């Protein structure tokens, strides 16, 4: 809606790193006043809700430096430049868990922090999992521990705040919804 | 799990703004190697799934500079320093929509982007809404348009990607789950 638009008067790149860049913008508000905007640019990411044949959810425990703790998440990773999200999802699932999947379907995509960042996460559901014989090496900077949880265990992890991030809480709620719809 | 921990060797603040700060860290990985981490610090936020007496969801359309477009979201806002999240939720609901609420309950909290940011969002459900006689002024930098949607309309907005962010997609799915459980 154009009447809400904020026009960029000036944009300055403060930092450009391996993952994010930071931009400080002067904008003109709809009322003509000026304001500052702090904007993080991010390449986008995928996340994979992978379900084993015995109905377990494949999760990874990982240290998150921003939080200074580990959390348990569905496998996820950043998009490489020009990478197609579905291919990225298959790659990340294999790299983080050693699983290949027969079927992969997009559940939803969402911006994680629209107030300051353009990061989008594409959430896929993967089924028909098979473990690769010689699972690919992890990224050398990445240390994760695999866990396979029932939906009940995942719900308990949410309560205990071991599962504590947007994409994984969405994924657990998605499975709760499917259960509730199935049992109607 | 300490064996996954990344020790900080050095941390440098690159930028400190009104909303976020950016820190570049050298860390020691579990295997002894060193790596860089780009970390955004954020004060945290609240979001409010507010339901009117005629069962509409209160939403706000807002221009998001990071996305260069408007999206439709549940009302939300940043925590002030030392502000109690439930008080912040009542304040933001009133400031953005003019509604006061009788009941306010925490649904969940989640980190939005644990890969690079410590932003946490506390999502509340608010009921027993009454419009204030002389609704408080918005923040002077904030321009929002109020919309009140049925669940079906909100589901349609998700499909059309007018609703496109983590907290709002979580909130819509939460209501879908409540509906499915009720009709069992």
* Model pLDDT for residues B69-126, shown as the tens digit of each residue: 999 999 999 999 999 999 999 999 999 999 999 999 999 999 999 999 999 999 999 9
Confidence of residue A3 (pLDDT cuts 50, 70, 90): confident
Q: Residue A77: how many CA atoms within 13 Å on its side-chain side? A: 25
Q: Do A164 and B66 touch (CB under 8 A)?
A: no
In a domain, A170, yes or no: yes
Mean pLDDT of the B18-27 span: 98
The rounded mean pLDDT for chain A is 94
In a domain, A98, yes or no: yes
In a domain, B1, yes or no: no
> Which of A78, A111, A155, A158 is best to mutate for the B interface (most B CBs within 10 A)?
A111
CATH of the domain at A155: 3.90.79.10
Q: Are residues A162 and A118 in the same domain?
A: yes
Q: Compute CA distances B157 → A105, B144, B153, B174, whole Å.
A: 20, 17, 6, 15
> Which of B47, B115, B164 is best to mutate for the A interface (most A CBs within 10 A)?
B115
In a domain, A2, yes or no: no
Q: Are residues A124 and A160 in the same domain?
A: yes
Q: Which of residues 129-168 of A touch B (CB under 8 A)?
A: 140-141, 143-145, 158, 161, 164-167
Q: Are residues B65 and B96 in the same domain?
A: yes
Q: Are residues A106 and A121 in the same domain?
A: yes
Q: Are residues A78 and A36 in the same domain?
A: no
Vertex B20 angle, CA B135 and B101, to 5°: 25
In a domain, B148, yes or no: yes
pLDDT digits (tens, 9 = 90+) for A98-151: 999 999 999 999 999 999 999 999 999 999 999 987 655 555 667 899 999 999
Q: Model's pTM, two decimal places?
A: 0.96
CA distance B163 to B156: 9
Annotated active-site residue in A94, A140, A153, A179 = A140
Q: Are residues A55 and A77 in the same domain?
A: yes
What is the domain count for chain A? 2
Is B140 an annotated catalytic residue? yes
Q: Are residues A148 and A64 in the same domain?
A: yes
Q: Are residues B27 and B92 in the same domain?
A: no
* Backbone phi and psi for residue B169, each to the nearest 5 degrees, phi listed first: -65, -40
**What's the gap in Å between the CA of B130 and the closest CA on chain A?**
26
Closest CA to A167 of A130, A125, A139, A128: A125
Q: Are residues A11 and A93 in the same domain?
A: no
Domain that holds residue B12: 7-41
| Cβ-Cβ contacts under 8 Å, B114 against chain A | 64, 66-67, 71, 73, 164-165
User: What pLDDT is stored for residue A116 in this prediction?
Assistant: 98
């Amino acid at each position: 809606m154009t009447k809400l638009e904020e026009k960029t008067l000036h944009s300055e790149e403060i930092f450009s790193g391996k993952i994010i860049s930071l931009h400080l913008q002067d904008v003109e508000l709809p009322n003509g006043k000026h304001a500052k905007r702090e904007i993080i640019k991010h390449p986008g990411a995928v996340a994979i809700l992978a379900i084993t044949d015995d109905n377990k959810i494949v999760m990874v425990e990982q240290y998150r430096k921003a939080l200074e703790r580990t959390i348990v998440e569905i496998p996820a990773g950043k998009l490489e430049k020009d990478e197609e999200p579905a291919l990225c999802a298959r790659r990340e699932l294999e790299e983080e868990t050693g699983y290949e999947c027969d079927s992969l379907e997009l559940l939803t995509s969402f911006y994680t922090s629209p107030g300051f960042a353009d990061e989008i996460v594409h959430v896929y559901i993967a089924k028909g999992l098979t473990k690769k014989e010689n699972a690919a090496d992890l990224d050398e900077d990445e240390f994760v521990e695999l866990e396979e949880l029932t939906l009940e265990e995942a719900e308990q992890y949410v309560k205990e705040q071991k599962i504590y991030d947007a994409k994984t809480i969405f994924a657990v709620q998605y499975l709760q919804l499917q259960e509730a719809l199935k049992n109607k």
